């Protein structure tokens, strides 16, 4: 799975999350508006960032990513996800699963009293193969989140032919999520295997390793490749519930 990934967006978004324990504030809305303006101005720049050397410069900047000051897993704030989110994802993606094509969605919600509640699942317009999935309308998703005061809490995608784990491509994708929000989750559905579901995050001490891999090997995570070390772990801060409403927003 791949998303437009811009250095300034991540830095700004990280600061917004840190400054506000609630998204219902005028300052937050102004900060998010600033991020949207940068997104609109930077899509072409983002596509060319590798050629300009900006990617390597950004990944070397630990201050922007805040990699060095990530909290310990025991300090992670809880993330609550209603089990109906996974059920809805599987139901909507049935045609993709039958044709062995990956399917993806973004998980959004709110932060209140130190707890993340996943309230929305946004399904983007996308292209997929048996081992990859790419969202095509990131700005549409961002626009919806902005208008509805939602923050990105993670993402969900399927492995129609593989087990539930994070591939090198998944690690690169989730690196962007977790660099912005340490509690960010990556849910993987593997309908043909047992277990059929995995909820993962990158290990705290692996964030810096992945950053270095992306600097020394710019193709890391662009295509699937094997890593000798397991760089992800199961989430211990996720709580599945059965009493929350999940809003499914299909943007295709």
> Domain-by-domain residue ranges, the chain?
7-250
pLDDT in the model for residue 226: 60
SS3 190: coil
From residue 83, how far is each of 87, 88, 101 by CA, in Å?
A: 7, 9, 23
Q: Which of 50, 61, 36, 245 is nearest to 146 (CA)?
A: 36
CATH entry 3.40.140.10 includes domain 7-250: yes
pLDDT in the model for residue 5: 39
- Neighbour count for residue 145 (Cβ, 10 Å): 21
- pLDDT, tens digit (0-9, with 9 covering 90-100), for 165-224: 998 889 988 998 998 899 999 999 998 899 999 999 999 999 988 888 877 876 665 555
pTM: 0.72
pLDDT in the model for residue 212: 84
pLDDT lower than 70: segments of the chain: 1-74, 218-228
In degrees and rounded to multiples of 5, residue 96 shows phi and psi of -65, -45
Count of residues making up the chain = 252
Judge contact between 147 and 116, C-beta under 8 A.
no
pLDDT in the model for residue 121: 97
Q: Which of 200, 146, 198 is nearest to 178 (CA)?
A: 200
Distance separating alpha carbons of residues 121 and 107, to the nearest angstrom: 5
pLDDT in the model for residue 141: 87
pLDDT in the model for residue 222: 56
């Amino acid at each position: 799975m791949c998303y437009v990934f811009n250095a300034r967006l991540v830095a700004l978004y990280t600061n917004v999350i840190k400054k506000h324990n609630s998204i219902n504030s005028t300052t937050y809305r102004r900060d998010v508006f600033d991020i949207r303006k940068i997104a609109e101005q930077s899509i072409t720049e983002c596509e060319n960032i590798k050629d300009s050397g900006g990617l390597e410069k950004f990944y070397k900047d630990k201050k922007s990513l805040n990699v060095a000051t990530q909290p310990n897993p025991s300090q992670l704030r809880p993330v609550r996800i209603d089990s109906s989110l996974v059920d809805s994802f599987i139901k909507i993606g049935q045609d993709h699963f039958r044709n062995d094509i990956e399917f993806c969605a973004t998980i959004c919600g709110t932060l209140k009293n130190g707890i993340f509640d996943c309230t929305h699942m946004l399904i983007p317009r996308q292209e997929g193969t048996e081992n990859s999935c790419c969202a095509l309308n990131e700005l549409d998703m961002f626009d919806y989140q902005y208008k509805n005061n939602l923050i990105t809490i993670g993402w969900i995608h399927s492995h129609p032919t593989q087990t539930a784990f994070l591939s090198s491509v998944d690690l690169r994708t989730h690196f962007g999520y977790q660099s912005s929000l340490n509690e960010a989750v990556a849910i993987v559905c593997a309908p043909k295997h047992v277990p059929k579901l995995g909820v993962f995050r990158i290990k705290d001490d692996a964030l810096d390793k992945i950053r270095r891999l992306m600097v020394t090997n710019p193709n890391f995570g662009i295509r699937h490749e094997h890593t000798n070390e397991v760089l992800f772990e199961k989430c211990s801060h996720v709580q599945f519930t059965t009493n929350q409403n999940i809003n499914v927003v299909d943007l295709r």
